[in-house]
Amino acid sequence: MKEFYYRVASSAETGAGQPLEILFAGEGQTRPGHRIGPKVYDFYLLHHVLSGRGRFTGGGAEHELGAGQSFLIEPEQLVSYEADRADPWAYRWIAFRGPWAAEAASAFGAGRTVADTGRSRRPAAALRLAMDALRQPAGAQLAAAGGLQLALGEIARACARRDEPGDAPGGAEEDNALVRALLRLLSTQYAEPVTMEGIAESLGYSRAYLSRVFKRHTGATPVSYLLRLRIDKGRLMLRERKDLTVEQIASSVGLQDALYFSRQFRRFYGESPSEYRQSVWGS
């Protein structure tokens, strides 16, 4: 039996004329069969499903929705939504209005009010950011609007993938894009103290899923790929930067332990960094 909960944060700055005004944001685990409507709202209301299932009815269409999917309620549109009786949904939501609201809502695409972001955790994280921001005494509207726009940005990307021939949310093309994004991230941040947990969070996926997809495409785990990338970069610096010590080079490629760098260098290349440097420079 899922434990029911309901949390909401409201803005104390409403009515201040923001172009994208956030009214409130919240999250909840619904009870079996919990139903809202039919009714109309005078603002936009975005829901993102975290788990479970439910049904959204609006615009003359009925949609069965589950985890990773979002639905948008537009102003003055008659809608209803209901949690599944066997597996009631949990979701996060955010209400907004203002001169920019319609343009922001266009992330779903013309005439559409449902989107599927698959396994991405970004929409849920962005809506939690917005809810937390509304509890702050200052800057609540700016931060909450930022959270909304992050969520809508991810929805827009998912909708664009959906409209490309041959692409399917959560399918091969999404996995290819994920691997490309991870390769770019590793190639630009190898010198930083990055962790796989942090990388997974920034990309919006679990570490286990990220590692599984990456290994399927490259034959290596992200951890082993990053280590090899660092050692290869270090080898290049040993060849090109005679003015730097082995310790300085190790630090420059993101490895603070020079002894560990030397051991891994020998494992990959069969000689120590000093021996390699001597073979290149002859002294």
- What are the pLDDT digits (tens) for 191-239? 888 888 888 777 767 788 888 888 988 898 999 999 999 999 999 999 9
Q: Which has the minimum average pLDDT: 43-47, 102-106, 185-189, 260-264?
A: 185-189
What's the rounded mean pLDDT across residues 130-157? Answer: 88
Q: What is the rounded distance in angstroms from the CA atom of residue 91 to the CA atom of residue 118?
A: 15
What's the rounded mean pLDDT across residues 237-261? Answer: 93
Look at residue 165 in the predicted model and tell me its pLDDT: 43
CB 6 within 8 A of CB 28: yes
* pLDDT tier at 168, thresholds 50, 70, 90: very low
The pTM assigned to this predicted structure is 0.61
The rounded percent of the chain whose pLDDT value lies above 70 is 92
pLDDT per position as a tens digit, 121-133: 889 999 999 999 9
Look at residue 13 in the predicted model and tell me its pLDDT: 66
Look at residue 22 in the predicted model and tell me its pLDDT: 93
Per-residue pLDDT at 169 exceeds 50: no
Per-residue pLDDT at 6 exceeds 50: yes
Q: What share of the chain is helix, strand, coil (3-state, %, to 5)?
A: 45, 20, 35
Residue 77 structure tokens? 């549109």
What is the overall mean pLDDT for the chain?
87
Beta-strand runs (E) in 74-134: 79-83, 90-97, 114-116
Residue 180 structure tokens? 């490309």
Provide the CA 62 distance to its chain's centre, in angstroms.
28
Q: What is the rounded distance in angstroms from the CA atom of residue 145 to the CA atom of residue 88?
A: 28
Look at residue 172 in the predicted model and tell me its pLDDT: 67
What's the rounded mean pLDDT across residues 240-249? Answer: 92
Q: What is the rounded distance in angstroms from the CA atom of residue 241 to the CA atom of residue 209?
A: 38
Per-residue pLDDT at 93 exceeds 50: yes
DSSP 254: T
pLDDT per position as a tens digit, 183-198: 888 888 888 888 888 8
